[in-house]
Chains A and B, each alone.
Chain A
Amino acid sequence: MSLVHRLIVIALLALLLSGCMQRPTPPTPTLYAQLGGEAGVAAIVEDFTYRLAGDDEVVVFFANSNIDRFVASLEEQICHLSDGPCVYSGPPMDRAHQHMGITDAHFNALVEHMQQTLIDQGVPPGPRNRLLGRLARLHADIMSLQ
């Protein structure tokens, strides 16, 4: 193999390698990151909790709740649901809401509060709707032991 050939092969290999290095597939940000990470989720949960506290129809369900624990648990759950670095460690959704007398109307009210929270917190439509979609799937579990 002549020097020229060798140089060409090296140049091609270099080109190939650099091509590989320069075009890494951009890591798609997790939903958690799109929600603003830890700070974003904390702001969402705080805003949402204030809305629940201001809703007479809903706040009754929290009469015997430890609000700090609720906030921490909801943060962890949203982190988990949005592919963040958390594992939800709270009680399963069916047992957590067992026999509370929650109706679809209450559930709807919560979804509406969450939607408005996400809008007001400036979460763009994509992440907003994706999170709402993942939360909507909890309906079956939450309602199963009413």
Chain B
Amino acid sequence: MTHPSRLTSPLFIPLSMGKIGLWKAMGKIGLWMALWIGLLLWATIAASPAWAGSRLLGTGGVTQIEGAAGGGLSPWGVLAGTASEGEWAITASRSEARLDDYRLTASGVALNWQDRLEVSFARQRLGLDTLGGELQQDIHGLKLRLLGDVLYHPWGVWSLGVQHKRLDDGSLARAVGAESTQGNDIYLSGSKLLFDAVAGRNLLVNLTLRSTRANQGGLLGFGGDRESSRSLVAEGSVGLFLTPNWVVGVEYRQKPDNLDFAREDDWQDLYSAYFFNKHVSLTGAWLDLGSIAGLDQQRGGYLSLQVAF
């Protein structure tokens, strides 16, 4: 894509109308904030319960950094929002991670059709605060619910997903030894809520198996000089619903290590997600992403806001 990406707002509204003076003056951040505040107000005040899906609060998870319904780092078996049979849901999210030497932002939208198919899009920007520069990646996702239900089925819910990832500018990825600048992750994900599991609270358990060639999730390209083929990696999380609105837990995401120039570590985090209602959730996490592009011990905070209809 040759469009001037910096002029495109994170929610993909072209700022060509930004030529109008007032909008231009508001700037990218101003417009972005106004949009979000508007959406939030709409979500909390104007939206009637009829706008929400019927699935229980929290059963759609939040938005993971690649745009799928999940935790923060890993997709879950559940589909976005609270849509069920005969219902639709749409979610929009904005996430930001601030690490020691990097800053990652991810903006995503996802559509859920009848709790059967989830179509998602996410745009990631990784600011290389220490190394200099910025990387951008687009991720188109599909997730198909194969069987089950996170609450009602003895085996939980199981879904098959694919994430098509494409780096905007692959020159850095190629320079560090990546083989290609786009790739497809395929994953199988299962989620199950265990009622009255710990201290009377419900425990959400997730497992994801992913086949991938992505280096650092794709931001450093796909395949590499050390390992070119696909790896099968496991991702998992547990979360305890302290109340019906509030879940806290841990996540772990195994990763391949394809590049010779620098070691790649697994990712992990501690998270807390609060569902104000079926329309607004806020997630905070403490991340430990290990070594990224030669800079060790990348730790930091994560904040993610999701609105859903």
Q: Do A and B bind each other?
A: yes
* Residues of A that sit less than 8 Å from B by CB: 103-109, 111-112, 115, 119, 124-130, 132-133, 136-137, 139-140
Q: Which residue of A lies closest to B115 (CB)?
A: A104
Closest chain B CB from A135 CB (angstroms):
9
Q: Contacts of B152 on A, CB cut-off 8 Å?
A: 107, 136-137, 139-140
Interface residue? B56 (CB, 8 A): yes
Closest chain A CB from B243 CB (angstroms):
8
A129 near B54 with CB under 8 A, answer: no
Q: Which residue of B lies closest to A133 (CB)?
A: B195
Q: Which residue of A lies closest to B55 (CB)?
A: A108
Q: Contacts of A106 on B, CB cut-off 8 Å?
A: 54
Q: How far is the CA of A120 from the CA of B161 in the complex (A)?
A: 39
Q: Mind listing 29 A-B residue pairs with CB under 8 Å? A: A103-B86, A104-B54, A104-B84, A104-B85, A104-B149, A105-B53, A105-B54, A105-B87, A108-B56, A108-B84, A109-B54, A112-B54, A112-B56, A115-B56, A124-B200, A125-B243, A126-B196, A127-B200, A129-B195, A130-B195, A130-B200, A133-B196, A136-B151, A137-B152, A137-B154, A139-B149, A139-B151, A139-B153, A140-B152
* Residues of B that sit less than 8 Å from A by CB: 53-56, 84-87, 115, 149, 151-154, 195-196, 199-202, 243-244
Closest chain A CB from B242 CB (angstroms):
9
Closest chain B CB from A30 CB (angstroms):
14
Known contacts A103-B85, A126-B199; 12 further A-B pairs (Cβ under 8 A): A105-B86, A105-B87, A115-B56, A125-B201, A126-B200, A129-B200, A129-B202, A130-B200, A132-B195, A133-B195, A133-B196, A140-B153
